[in-house]
A = this chain, B = another copy of it.
Amino acid sequence: MEAGHLPAVPHLTTALTGPLKQIENTLLSEQSRIEAWFRAEWRKTPAPFYGSVDLRNAGFKLAPVDTNLFPAGFNNLNPAFIPLCVQAMQAKMEEICEVACNVLLIPEDHTRNLYYLESLSTLQEIILKAGYRVRIGSLRSDLEKEEIIELPSGRSVRLEPVIRRGQRICLEDFMPCVVVLNNDLMGGEPDILRNIDQPVVPPPGLGWSNRLKSGHFYHYHEVATEFSRLLETDPWLINPLFRNCGELDFKNREGEDCLAKNVQELLDDIQKKYDQHAIDKPPFVVVKADAGTYGMAIMSVSSVDELLSLNRKQRNKMASMKGGGGVSKFLLQEGVYTFETWGDDQDAAVAEPVVYMIDHFVVGGFYRVHTDRGPRENLNAPGMHFEPLAFHQSCNMPDRSQSPDAEPNRFYAYGVIARLALLAAARELADHKEEIDNDAGNQIAS
């Protein structure tokens, strides 16, 4: 773990106020009930292979705003947590395939992004140290032979073209027993992955071409409601309100009336909750593409006027996204303020936690820290540079002898909320499996 060699990580100064302290108190005092509840839920709906969850901590509210089932950013984790990742990976891989030895890791295609490749390299290392042979098979159509890319960290990644042989995929001289997807399949499920015999985790059907954020947050709403019933708290404290409206064309201003109406209604709903909890802040709404990652096509507005007065450039941005597909569906989500800051009061930077899980184990996380952004802006926006600040403690060390907002307890709270989002994803996964089973049943019947 090389604990002694880590850079000292400064403490976070958070304006924790009112209701959140109540949540953190409850999470801490009810830890064993919470964990027992999670165990029962994971038995009903097993956790996805891995995931990362973006949280927002407003002091009065702690909630997930995005759940990624093909996470990048493993390189931002504290090196001291890698043994936890390795152990969790061992537990998960044993469950997936009893006899697995060879693992094929399928990455994103954008191989010019060195940050992404550093993450890929760390992920490969985790699987390797877990005791598997692991090689990287790229879906890039222009990749005809292996390509070795040197990374800033001094490591290198070797990409090799994926080959299909009958009902299996492989590399030239490497037949995997398990395929690990680290590609969110924004462009749709590639033919080469269809109907292959090897287990693919997570299943391609959970890629963004099949998945909607609104579907995720529908499940999250259910999960947060059940969880809050268990703890007898207001689910809103951990659950961002949301709405989705029909098809939208930002560029040509089609569907704008419907959008404006929904934004206004959502703002009103948030204001009601703010009034109820005596929160003296203007509500805001985040408009984001219902499918997709990487913070493209995302903006926050605090009034309908702000929405209607978007200029052409802003409209074009909302109409474009990764993969190039025209955006048509949008999610309207309650904006959650980021009141976690890092550094001095005068010069404080906004810090947003991202929590990583392998199986249902929370294995670490980091903060996105950005000095130039405000508390209601999105730190995972295109072209936006952030500094990763690794969690310097794990999320499984709650300590009742310390105050509810002491560091280990705040990290524990992050881990609980992130796992609620992961549980919502587990239910998406279960729905998806049911669909596949039904399809298979229909095919047999027809």
Give chain A's interface residues, CB within 8 Å of chain B.
1-4, 6-9, 31-36, 38-40, 43, 78, 80-84, 86-88, 90-91, 94, 98-99, 101, 128-133, 361, 392-394, 396-398
Contact = CB atoms under 8 A, between A and B. Distances in A.
A108 B71 CA distance: 46
B35 A132 contact: yes
Contact of A87 (B35, B98, B396, B398): B396
A207 to B, nearest CB: 29
A128 B396 CA distance: 10
Copies of this chain: 2
24 contacts: A1-B81, A1-B392, A2-B393, A3-B4, A3-B80, A4-B7, A4-B8, A4-B9, A31-B131, A32-B133, A35-B131, A36-B99, A36-B101, A36-B132, A43-B98, A82-B397, A83-B394, A83-B397, A84-B84, A86-B394, A90-B361, A91-B91, A129-B397, A129-B398
Interface centre among A3, A8, A396 (most CB of B within 10 A): A3
A32 B134 CA distance: 10
A90 B88 CA distance: 11
B86 A396 contact: yes
A83 B396 contact: yes
Contacts of A4: 3, 6-9, 392
A268 B3 CA distance: 46
Given A80-B1, A80-B80, A133-B32, A88 B86 contact: no
A358 to B, nearest CB: 10
Contacts of A33: 101
Contact of A78 (B3, B32, B38, B84): B3
Given A2-B392, A2-B393, A396-B83, A101 B32 contact: yes
B36 A131 contact: yes
Contact of A6 (B3, B9, B32, B36): B3
A39 B94 contact: yes
